[in-house]
């Protein structure tokens, strides 16, 4: 049992990262809001938005993955993330026939706008087998957001 916990922890760490380029901030979806607020790499303005607006609807121990998976257009956090022009990167399982003729499952990455993603109901997300990998925040949206 101990070995499985260590393996799970290592896999989670692969999806806990903060990266950025000139236009976007990329957040690994396994981060909890609590961990994000403690991370020194996250911009102060984004920490402020999370603590003032996002944590009104959700517990700090929730991960980005679970929060976005169950988010609906009626949530206050949804409105906040729309202002930040957020996109969600997901992995979809796809059946693919190999060159030997054997059918195997591979994962294809796809990026949804928040509006597209939240429009999918929970049953459809489960049916598709969506796995949220990354949350992408527009720096322009972050810059124009007034706290």
Instruction: Identify the residue whose tokens are 């003729």.
Output: 101
Q: How far apart are CA 86 and CA 113, in angstroms?
A: 7
Instruction: State which fold the 2-144 domain adopts.
Output: 3.30.465
Report the pLDDT value the prediction gives residue 147, as an integer from 0 to 100: 83
From first to last of its 147 residues, the chain has per-residue pLDDT tens of 455 444 445 556 678 999 999 999 999 999 999 999 999 999 999 999 999 999 988 999 999 999 999 999 999 999 999 999 999 999 999 988 888 888 888 999 999 999 999 999 999 999 999 999 999 999 999 999 998
Domain boundaries, the chain: 2-144
Instruction: Identify the residue whose tokens are 């996250």.
Output: 42
Report the pLDDT value the prediction gives residue 8, as an integer from 0 to 100: 47
**32-to-48, 81, 124 alpha-carbon distances in Å:** 15, 16, 24
- Asked if 126 contacts 21 with a C-beta cutoff of 8 angstroms, the reply is no
Report the pLDDT value the prediction gives residue 9, as an integer from 0 to 100: 53
Q: How far apart are CA 36 and CA 50, in angstroms?
A: 9
Q: How far apart are CA 14 and CA 112, in angstroms?
A: 21
């Amino acid at each position: 049992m101990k070995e499985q916990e260590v393996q799970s922890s290592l896999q989670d760490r692969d999806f806990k990262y903060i990266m950025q380029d000139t236009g976007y901030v990329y957040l690994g979806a396994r981060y909890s809001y609590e961990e994000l607020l403690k991370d020194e790499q996250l911009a102060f303005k984004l920490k402020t938005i999370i603590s003032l607006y996002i944590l009104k609807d959700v517990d700090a121990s929730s991960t980005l993955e679970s929060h976005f998976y169950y988010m609906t257009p009626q949530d206050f956090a949804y409105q906040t993330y729309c202002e930040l022009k957020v996109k969600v990167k997901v992995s979809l399982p796809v059946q693919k026939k190999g060159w030997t003729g054997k059918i195997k499952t591979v994962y294809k990455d796809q990026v949804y706008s928040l509006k597209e993603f939240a429009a999918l109901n929970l049953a459809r997300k489960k049916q598709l087998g969506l796995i949220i990998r990354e949350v992408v925040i527009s720096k322009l949206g972050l810059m124009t957001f007034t706290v």
